[in-house]
Amino acid sequence: MNNSRPQVLLTNPIHEQEHLRLAQAADVTVAPDTQPDTLRRLIRDAQVLIVRSKLPDDIFQHQQQLRGVIRHGVGLDMIPMAQACAHRIPVANIPGSNTASVVEYCVAAMLHFNRRLPRMLLDDPSRDWAEARRCADQAREINGLTLGIVGVGTIGRALASVAQALGMHVLGLTRRPETLPEGVAAADKTQLFRQSDIVVLSCPLTDETRGLVDASALACMKPDALLINVARGPVVDTNALLTALREKRLRGAMLDVHDQQPIPEGLYPKGLEHLFLTPHVAAITQSSMQRMSRGAVDEALRLLDGQRFLNLVNPEIYQP
């Protein structure tokens, strides 16, 4: 390694083409694992850190020459922001880079539940024909259903637009209802959970949203409603959700994010009907990975060139 070159640490691999572009300007190290002690050791020599995994809360106490941190994506909960600000370390993210991927995931989840396509796949076309056709009798169109979106930011607004194009009615729960896009009706928490056929969680994890979907919210939901979580696991009270599914007070849940990641043994009961789990992949496609990596490398090169981040999220560090 040429120590005269800037050192960039990646918590996880990024898009290969963008890695090569970054390597033309810096020595790039990919962490062999994301264990806290590994990241604490590697951060000492890094001038730039690109983040795809949760950082230990004390990570910035171990850096010696860190000039900036870049979130390979949008959500900042993987980064101890208070500590970054305390150490006056600039942080950037890549807004909008994964919006299309998350929206498509939500639409796929809605269709998965309502059109029941997996149950109608023909393993043996001649033998399974009649049984598969009977499954269609229970299928529902999403046209005419009511979609409730919790957190109508960039992703929520894009999802609302697609849902309206599909003929859905859309409700939005947000701190600033005056900013809701045209055609999205403002609703309070009780109204949204009571009236929606499908609820999508796309809000950031904050003190206000932690445990937002609790037993009382779930009790408001229609028994044939669907919950989709592409926000963060702790937005949902997992035990309350599992109880509602067990007691068939909720038709189903599609969870892409979880209280603990990777999912440990025993977090969810085995064989619970209509609980569908994915490994935090809603934002990940070939296209979004390239967009996120390109944006992260652009920001890294900008910083190494002596400029400020374009998508700086903590500008207060530059205040006196």
CB 198 within 8 A of CB 148: yes
**CB neighbour class for 70 (10 Å; exposed up to 12, middle 13-18, buried from 19):** buried
CB-based contacts of 171, cutoff 8 Å, min separation 6: 146, 147, 148, 149, 184, 185, 186, 187, 191, 192, 195, 196
Distance separating alpha carbons of residues 318 and 320, to the nearest angstrom: 7
CB 235 within 8 A of CB 210: yes
Give residue 2's pLDDT.
47
Instruction: Could you please state the CATH topology (level 3) that the domain comprising 99-277 is classified under.
Output: Rossmann fold (3.40.50)
Distances (CA, A) of 65 to 32, 113, 316: 21, 50, 20
Which residue in the block uniquely carries the two structure tokens 């800037």? 6
Give residue 118's pLDDT.
78
Give residue 1's pLDDT.
46
**CB neighbour class for 133 (10 Å; exposed up to 12, middle 13-18, buried from 19):** exposed
Tens of each residue's pLDDT in the chain, 320 residues: 446 899 999 999 999 999 999 999 999 999 999 999 999 999 999 999 999 999 999 999 999 999 999 999 998 989 999 999 999 999 999 999 999 999 999 999 999 988 888 777 777 777 778 888 888 888 889 999 999 999 999 999 999 999 999 999 999 999 899 999 999 999 999 999 999 999 999 999 889 999 999 999 999 999 999 999 999 999 999 999 999 999 999 999 999 999 998 899 999 998 898 999 999 999 999 999 999 999 999 999 999 999 999 999 999 999 88
Give residue 11's pLDDT.
97
What residue type is 185 in one-letter code? Answer: A
CB 192 within 8 A of CB 170: no
Which residue in the block uniquely carries the two structure tokens 């963008």? 18
**Exposed e or buried b per residue across 291-320, where buried means at least 16 C-beta atoms within 10 angstroms of its C-beta:** bbbbbbbbbbbbbbeeeebebbbbeeeeee
Task: Provide the token pair at 214.
Answer: 């609790």
Distances (CA, A) of 219 to 194, 216, 244: 9, 5, 8
Distance separating alpha carbons of residues 143 and 164, to the nearest angstrom: 9
Residue ranges matching CATH 3.40.50.720 in the chain? 7-97+286-318, 99-277
CATH architecture of 7-97+286-318: 3-Layer(aba) Sandwich (3.40)
